Amino acid sequence: MRQLLAWSLAAAAALAAAPALAPTAAAADAKCPKLRTSWYGDNRAHLQHVIDTYGTCSGHRGAVAAFDWDNTITKNDVTDATLSWALRHSALPRPARWKDTSAWMTDAGDRALTAACGTGAGGSLRTSDRPKCTDEIVEIREKGTTMSGAAAFAGTWNHRRTVPQYAWVPQLFAGRTPAQLSSYAAAARTEALAAPIGATRTLGTHTVPAYVRYYDQQRDLIRTLKRAGFRVYIVSAGSEPVTEVWSRGVGVDAAHTIAIRSVLDHRGRITTRNEGCGGIGVNKGEVIPYIDGKRCWINQDIYGIRGPAAWQKQAWKNRIAVGGGDADTDVTFVSDATGAHLVLNRNKAELMCRAYDDTDGRWVINPMFIEPLPRKTDPYPCSTTAYNAPDGGHTPLLRPDGSVVPDQADTVH
């Protein structure tokens, strides 16, 4: 309880520093929406305090909550589930050249995919009966390398704004329409929700999860936030048509779902280009909702901040109240939250270093709700290699005041 009191005082003090919001006339009589599911330790109380403080119970309305999707709202990755379904049903279009699918595709990647999958625009890849083709695609998606171990992507990119294999998945569907991709996602969703927890399947020689589950706690949290007057958004580094199919299951519509938005051609078909952010226009994957990119899209799409300023941390009134994620891809926007930084522990160094360091007393750490990971035995290397630098290097993680975050033990698992 001492920790909860300290957290509550910190949150209350922070809220007091925010611009005042006028209470609604019925606020005093409103019934405060309450969380119903069980959480680790005092986490439910922490989150309820934020809901009560920022929501209609305190006369406020319109605060923003933003969540990553894969492994934050669901167990397992819904983009991967859709790609798995597409590979098993030969639903991917065949590109004219594999080099055209990514701005960073190497000659080695092009040769491996051409040999395993073939080329020639028109028709579909026969991945359902060509396991070598499936293998190459899955290996490149997972590791950024070919089955022989050669780099599939090379060149220069900002490692806090994109990663080629994330950008590559929507590009694989170039030539299909958003409606077709949504139909693949819907079929994959039905299949993944029906599979038992723990189920796996084989793609080529790869073993991948066969199931996805909505987390009951996150579904309840989103429902409670919305009842308390919060605007709830999903911000994902997956493909937007895929994420939209799944986000409807927690009551978040397409207008509140932000992910990689592919640019369409004149016939309404997906291309290998996507919309940009922060003063960067249409591009071939250089900017996606990834690490700092998630902050950019939140600032741009939710708060209307345009140009390079969208990459910067904003003043209080233009920051989310609640942010939730599970990986380093989420660390920037989750850190921006003014009320609660919710983290599901998947042992990701930069995010967990921030969470355990807990400089503002508002980090809420929870084990994964399904198949949680065991305790990480070695401390997180916060003081040496936890920060994901723009050039791809790994350097010490710094606090806002410039001091180095000390290594942190894994205590919530």
Identify whether 356 is part of a domain. no
Q: Render 347-385 in DSSP notation, one character per residue.
A: --HHHHHHHHH-TTS-EEEEE-SSSPPPPPSSPB-TTTT
* Beta-ladder partners of 257: 234
Res 27 pLDDT > 90: no
Nearest CA among 304, 346, 298 for reference residue 321: 298
Residue 30's pLDDT is 52
Phi/psi region, residue 229 (left: phi>0; alpha: psi -120 to 50; beta: rest), is left
Structure confidence at residue 22 (pLDDT): 36
Whether residue 269 contacts residue 288, with contact meaning beta carbons closer than 8 Å, is answered with no
Per-residue pLDDT band for 367 (boundaries 50, 70, 90) equals very high
Residue-wise pLDDT tens digits, 225-261? 999 999 999 999 999 999 999 999 999 999 999 999 9
Query: Is the pLDDT reported for residue 206 higher than 50?
Result: yes
CATH of the domain at 247: 3.40.50
**Dihedral angle, C-alpha 98, 102, 103, 105, nearest 10 °:** -60
Tell me how far CA of residue 400 lies from CA of 355, 363, 395, 397, in angstroms: 14, 15, 15, 10
Any domain includes 55: no
**Alpha-carbon span 94 to 359, nearest angstrom:** 50
Neighbours of 290 (CB within 10 A): 25
Structure tokens at 272: 């290998």
> Is 178 a domain residue?
yes
Q: Which of 188, 201, 202 is CA-nearest to residue 238?
A: 188
The residue-averaged pLDDT of 137-155 equals 98
Using 50, 70 and 90 to split pLDDT, how confident is the model at 316? very high
Residue at 38 is within a domain: no
Place of tokens 């199931």: 211
The overall average pLDDT reported for the chain is 93
Nearest to 6, CA basis, from 42, 38, 37: 42
What pLDDT shows up at residue 130?
A: 95
Categorize the per-residue pLDDT at 171 as very low, low, confident or very high, splitting at 50, 70 and 90. very high
For residues 17-32, give the mean pLDDT. Answer: 46
Are 109 and 149 in contact, with CB atoms under 8 Å apart? no
Q: What percent of the chain clears pLDDT 70, i.e. is strictly above it?
A: 93
**Predicted confidence (pLDDT) per residue in 40-85, tens digit:** 999 999 999 999 999 999 999 999 999 999 999 999 999 999 999 9
pTM, whole model, 2 decimals? 0.92
pLDDT at 162: 98
The dihedrals phi and psi of 168, each to the nearest 5 degrees, come to: -70, -30
Does residue 391 form part of some domain?
no
Residue 327 placed within a domain? yes
Checking if the pLDDT of 90 tops 70, the result is yes
pLDDT at 121: 80
pLDDT at 120: 86
Range of the domain at 247: 62-338
> Is 144 domain-assigned?
yes
For residues 336-350, average pLDDT: 98
The answer to the question of residue 47 being in a domain is: no
> Given pLDDT bands bounded at 50, 70 and 90, which one contains residue 122?
confident
DSSP 92: S
DSSP 302: I
Domains held by the chain: number: 1
Tokens 């309404």 belong to 268
